[in-house]
Amino acid sequence: MRNHVWGVLVMSVGVMSAPCHATPLSDAWHTIAAEDSRAALTLIENNHPGAAPELGDATFQARLALAKAHVAQRLPRVVDYPAYAALMSGLAADFQDGHIWSNALVGAQIIRSSGILLARQNNQWVVGAQQTDHGEPDVKGQIFLGCDGQDAESWAVPRIARFKGDPVLEAVRARAASWLLLDEGNPFLVRPKRCTFSAPGHAPESVALHWQPVLMANVRAAIGQVAQRGDAGLKVEPFSGGWWIGLDTLEDEAQKVVTLVRHNQAALREAPMVVIDLRGNGGGNSRYADIIAELLVGEPRLKAAQPHFPACSGSYWRVSPGVLAALQQNLDQAEASRDGVSINFYRPLVTDIKQALAQHRNFSPALPACARHTLAAEQNDMPQVLPPAEMQGRLVLVTDHTCFSSCLIAVDLFRRLGALHVGETTDRSSRYMEVREEVMPSQLRAVSTLQKVAVGAGDFGPYTPEIIFPGVLSNDAALKAWVAALPAP
């Protein structure tokens, strides 16, 4: 028996097999999938700004049409939970936006494993973990070359695009890597039979895959070990090269780092190097990054580094009963806690959206006609000359592929301020914002949509570092030693 670190289950194949003909149970899964996919598409179409015709987002409209077409094609084959899950995951993936997801609230407890978990290292798929059996060769650490006669790109990229997200993004590839040689029962993918791997200086090896049932909980634990993601933490402390600022979130907890930066401002400004470490940062409120930047470089340099937006720009909320209900809830909470700032933000917004619904307007405030034709601000239009920084040393920025949403806005800011960007390529987010998640009718999954658009803004990311870290970003000691030894500019 295969001795998986993620655990093998011995059971009959029939337990894992999908029914081959219609049964009351398969009919029920088909009905659940039909209702949930319809609710998900309605949620996105009625609430996402890109779905409103007056915004003129042809790319989003095409993605919405693709999602509808895929649901129509796949729905007849949904006869069990794995097919339902694949249908819903594919629906979200078609939008190629990490803010639109389909999360399982009740998931499969058992899937099948080939015994191989892939990882993404230095823009290549490699074997991150392996449990050998049936006489397979040991290929741990080797480069994945492909499966069933197809090279790695031709085989993996379409699978990622259909059910995981945009495969152009290195961040999406990194997140999808470990799932490529796992079988979640997706009937819309062909399970590979034989894959090829290579080690430097050796001939490629072809490996026949032997699939075994495993516990999903153990698989997720093993994937966590293979991914070896770094975590910057929330800290401000000296290191061998100067000072290290760990900022793993831009949620409210980031205020702790702002306070520490303010307390240590003099030492930070005099240090030979200050590192902004964003490993593990999935976003929040970019205002915290603005404050930290100003404390380090000073207000004149910060203001000069800000991007320039076209004349036709601004933030506009999509108008719908769902958006109104979400904002009304925020207002109610602000009034209950007597949060004056939030009350002053939400109260006029709720009033205007009520008026917009009565007037059959799709946006609040009313969307100007120029929004349909406004080009996005150029992220690459970096300032040529900036006022001197009020810090003496070098500013270094560390990212990994988890950097998303407001983290990307922070990356854009620090790059504009002249920071040396190192680490790993970031994710990407669009000009759409304000996520709202709803539970689907079955109560089995939750699907998200976006509610606001920043007219005049473009995508943020992906940002590729000037210097890629050659090691594993979870190794704090190695990363800090490497950063401290970076050559002088």
110-227 and 234-285+389-427+462-484 share one fold: no
Residues facing residue 247 across a β-bridge: 234
Answer for the pair 469, 422: CB distance below 8 angstroms, yes or no. Answer: yes
* Residue whose C-alpha is closest to residue 115's, from 128, 137, 130: 130
| Crossing angle (nearest 10°) for helices 24-47 and 321-337 | 70
CATH class of this structure's domain 234-285+389-427+462-484: alpha beta
Supply the Cα-derived Rg of the chain in whole angstroms: 25
Distance of CA 221 to the CA centre of its chain: 20
Q: How many CB atoms lie within 10 A of CB 270?
A: 13
Answer for the pair 485, 240: CB distance below 8 angstroms, yes or no. Answer: no
Residues facing residue 314 across a β-bridge: 455
* Tens of pLDDT, residue by residue, the chain (489 residues): 344 445 544 333 333 444 445 688 999 999 999 999 999 999 999 999 999 999 999 999 999 999 999 999 999 999 999 999 999 999 999 999 999 999 999 989 999 999 999 999 888 999 999 988 777 899 999 999 999 999 999 999 999 999 999 999 999 999 999 999 999 999 999 999 999 999 989 999 999 999 999 999 999 999 988 887 899 999 999 999 999 999 999 999 999 999 999 999 999 999 999 999 999 999 999 999 999 999 999 999 999 999 888 889 999 999 999 999 999 999 999 999 999 999 999 999 999 999 999 999 999 999 999 998 876 544 456 667 899 999 999 999 999 999 999 999 999 999 999 999 999 999 999 999 999 999 999 999 999 999 999 999 888 999 999 999 998 899 999 999 999 999 988
Answer for the pair 301, 390: CB distance below 8 angstroms, yes or no. Answer: yes
Please give the full DSSP string across 240-287, using - where no structure is assigned. TTEEEEEE--BSGGGHHHHHHHHHTHHHHHHSSEEEEE-TT---B-TH
Answer for the pair 178, 223: CB distance below 8 angstroms, yes or no. Answer: yes
CATH number of the domain located at residue range(s) 110-227 in this protein = 2.30.42
What is the residue extent of each domain of the chain?
A: 25-103, 110-227, 234-285+389-427+462-484
The 8-class DSSP code of residue 24 comes to H
Total-model pTM: 0.90
Pairing of strands 234-239, 363-364: unpaired
